Amino acid sequence: MSRKQQLLRQHRRNKRLAVLTGLVVLLALGIFVQWWLPLLLLPLLWVAHEAWFADHLFYSPGEDYQYEQPPVCAAHPVKLVDGVVKVQSPLQLNGDETLVLQLRLKSRWLGRFLDPAVILNSDDCQVFERGVAGLRYLNLTGLATSLAAGQLRLRGQYCRLPAEGQLWVVSGSDLRQKRVMVIAPHADDAELAAFGLYSQAQEAWIVTLTAGEIEAEHYQQMGLEKAEAARLKGRLRAWDSIAVPRWAGVPESRCVQLGYFCLQLPAMQAAADQPIASREAQLDDTRLFRQFNTMALPGDLNGAPTWNNLLADLRELLLTARPQVLVMPHPTLDPHPDHICAQAAVLEALQGLAWQPETLLGYANHLHDNDRWPMGDSGAGVALPPQMEAVPGWAPYSLTLDLSTQRDKAMALGMMHDLQPRPPFKRRVRRLLQRWLAGRRASVYGENEFFRKAVRRHELFWRRDL
């Protein structure tokens, strides 16, 4: 069981205990006070829960985020003077640095019901947990000019800012000038994490590992049987993985769908030479989902969904593309089982290979501890995520996306079939209550939560140079 599954199980257990306690209290009120009180309070309590207490937050907002200062990072003490950031040591910027500001934030009382945020120059708004009280890390990438000129102004919204902080300046070359390969466990992972990067790269390759065929209830509603719906969904997502990157100028010859089966990578890894069939599509051959590829791969010979075939496919692609920058899920931040195995497969495929990349970039499309991160609205900046245990060796690397690129990214996500169905009714009601009572805004680009999470001022990665 993954850490996120353990946290979710604990969260649900605590919620059941809270509901049971609440019902006992309401019953007591009905018996000993007034019979109509439970009938009045029950819907009000449900509305309050949906508006203010429905977030999956598996840590205390009063905890510090745990980040170690990377070796490539220069730290500068700063002071906030009337909200203006004043760097207290000489600062020289080339323009391609990633800038992170460490601050200790403290929520005001209203910040327990409305999302606390830091407003940067009235141009950006980076949001944090309700009740925040600890070290947090603002992303200042893209604000180097106003920072160097002493004109960067911060304002706390529903939170207090400290008088002092620390600026991290992470130097590094612009990776958009190099050959980039994005490893996507599923169709849409590359777009969610790295559309801005790969759309501007000198040369880009998109390699999608699985067809993402399971959980095809949307297609079952069309009258298809479960296996038939899963195969249709897999074919559609396979098409998406090849076709959507064309929107960013990536030729189909550099987009590859490996066709392995969703949530089966851990079982494949555990028995490297054993074929692991799809959970729902009644398939044990990957070639149905490879039909749109333009290049032949070792796994095409028998279509067997094995770990050894996956490694052979990856080695062939790495030797063909010779990427200088390899983009894949972060080894610890992203808890999705397929994402963990995707990263492990790439590292295993690289062992002893004649070609080695210069740089690894990690991304996190899911988190262990906070299902809402990045918090805030579409178009806002992306602060560093919650990290409760420091992970050495990785430095933050951020790109700034202009409004035109953000819109192109939103359109790419809109083309992804898996992000098109409407959210469940309960989730739509929850969002409506949160909009009315908690001040949260829906994304203008689409109903799926990933439009809010991914279409942002920044794309954030973690970098390790080899």
Give pLDDT tens digits for 293-312. 999 999 999 999 999 999 99
Amino acid at 163: A
Longest dimension (CA), the chain: 78
Structure tokens at 120: 């940067």
Classify strands 203-210 and 179-184 as parallel, antiparallel or unpaired. Answer: parallel
Distances in Å between the Cα of 190 and the Cα atoms of 53, 195, 259 are: 31, 6, 16
Q: How far is it, in rounded angstroms, from Cα 106 to Cα 131?
A: 8
Query: What is the model's pLDDT at position 208?
Result: 98
Distances in Å between the Cα of 397 and the Cα atoms of 258, 334, 374 are: 28, 16, 16
Distances in Å between the Cα of 378 and the Cα atoms of 124, 410, 440 are: 11, 10, 11
Residue pointed to by tokens 């479960």: 226
Q: How far is it, in rounded angstroms, from Cα 416 to Cα 396?
A: 28
What percentage of residues in the chain have a pLDDT greater than 70?
A: 95
The residue-averaged pLDDT of 247-257 equals: 98
pLDDT band, very low/low/confident/very high, at 20 (cuts 50, 70, 90): confident
Query: What is the model's pLDDT at position 22?
Result: 67
Q: What is the pLDDT of residues 166-198, one digit of tens each?
A: 999 998 889 999 999 999 999 999 999 999 999
Q: Report yes or no: 366 and 340 within 8 Å, Cβ to Cβ.
A: no
HEC readout, 283-305? CCCHHHHHCCCCCCCHHHCCCCC
Q: What is the pLDDT of residues 26-47, one digit of tens each?
A: 677 667 777 777 777 788 888 8
Q: Which residues of 242-261 are buried (b: 16+ CB within 10 A; e: fewer)?
A: bebbeebebeeebbbbbbbb
Distances in Å between the Cα of 21 and the Cα atoms of 39, 58, 254, 451 are: 16, 21, 57, 37
pLDDT at 3 over 70: no
Query: What is the model's pLDDT at position 160?
Result: 98
Query: What is the model's pLDDT at position 94?
Result: 82
Structure tokens at 86: 């004043």
Query: What is the model's pLDDT at position 167?
Result: 97
Residue pointed to by tokens 């999302």: 115
Q: How far is it, in rounded angstroms, from Cα 415 to Cα 212?
A: 15
